[in-house]
Structure 1
Amino acid sequence: MANQKLDRLDKQILKLISEDARIPFLEVARACNVSGAAIHQRIQKLTNMGILKGSQFVIDPEKVGYETCAFIGLNLKNPESFDEVVEKLKGMPEVVECHYTTGNYDLFIKVYALNNHHLLTFVHDKLQPLGLARSESLISFHSPIDRPLPIVDMINADEEDL
């Protein structure tokens, strides 16, 4: 995928809204020394380019009862069933990420479960019927780094670097 051409203003806007998605556009405009209309236009441009993919509130899974976070590597018996398996994974609320990967797994997923028993039941009752040759689960004890893409470095980067 080709890199999109971003100027300094685009990068400033991305930095500000990545730090606080609820920042008012007029505050972004003041920080960037441009009009509010210019910010609206730039946000629309960044959205149309596919760089911005909406905004959302981030819910702390543990605070709403999901005590177990796990990463699960999946090996499919039939690798041709990728699309079918991914569609089924999309219907499982426990699955919050799914990646096609190189290496030891066909797919790598991130899952939240209420507890270890819920995770065991999820793997046994929901994942195994997908036609897995095998799976490997890694439980995360804690995530000391969890952040969006750091836009800070992009502002000072040369256009050719992006």
Structure 2
Amino acid sequence: MIDPLNRKIVNILLEDSRTPYVTIAEKINRSESTVRQRISKLLEKGIIEKYTIQIDPAALGYNSVAYIGLNVESPKLLKVLRDLKKVEGIVTISTTTGDYMILCEIWAEDGVHLTKISEKIEEIDGVLEIRPSMILDKYYL
């Protein structure tokens, strides 16, 4: 658990990970050195793992974005995860509870490309079932 001040810092960085320390300091009414020290500790503790960017897939030519739920043979889960990392077009892989053991986010140029990616996934030894769901819109908090 983090304290309320660190929570404010994290929330600002979630909006824009490039926010300068001086800007964060102004927003939370603290000194830049306080912000710098707190972010350093958040990094050391692994609370902040890395700074990233948010990309619009359509701007890169990926007009078909989908989640694919997978069920796999339990003993082959780790092998399937390793094989999924090699499939071009998969941008995230998550293990989950619920209806699927694995959930992948796919970026494809179009429906034909999405079908080809789905077929590559189906060919992986240990995959029992795949269920694609097209993403209509994505909202960031």
Runs of 4+ in structure 1 off by over 3 angstroms are none
**Per-residue deviation, residues 27-72 of structure 1 (Å, max 9, x unmatched):** 2122223222211110011112222121122221001100011111
More relative contact order in 1 or in 2 (CA 8 Å, sep 6+)?
A: 1
The aligned length equals: 140
Mapped to 2, the partners of 1:91 and 1:18 lie a distance apart of 29
- Say which of 47, 52, 55 aligns to 2:51: 55
Mapped to 2, the partners of 1:57 and 1:24 lie a distance apart of 15
Amino acid at match of 1:60: D
Structure 2: which 5+ residue stretches go unaligned?
A: none
1:15 is the counterpart of 2:11: yes
- Say which of 131, 134, 138 aligns to 2:133: 138
**Per-residue deviation, residues 114-141 of structure 1 (Å, max 9, x unmatched):** 11000111111x2122122221111122
Q: What is the CA distance between 1:10 and its match in structure 2?
A: 0.8
Aligned to 1:151: none
Structure 1: which 5+ residue stretches go unaligned?
A: 148-162
Cα 1:10/1:63, change in 2 over 3 Å: same
1:64 is the counterpart of 2:60: yes
Mapped to 2, the partners of 1:13 and 1:75 lie a distance apart of 38
Q: 2:90·2:106 contact (CA, 8 Å) conserved in 1?
A: yes
Stretch deviating more after TM superposition (66-75 or 7-16): 7-16
What secondary structure is seen at the aligned counterpart in 1 of 2:103?
Answer: strand
Cα 1:9/1:84, change in 2 over 3 Å: same
Q: TM-score when scaled to structure 2?
A: 0.88
Amino acid at match of 1:64: L
Mapped to 2, the partners of 1:20 and 1:142 lie a distance apart of 21
Mapped to 2, the partners of 1:114 and 1:37 lie a distance apart of 46
Amino acid at match of 1:84: K
> What is the root-mean-square deviation in Å for CA atoms of aligned residues?
1.6
1:43 is the counterpart of 2:59: no
Q: What is the CA distance between 1:12 and its match in structure 2?
A: 1.9
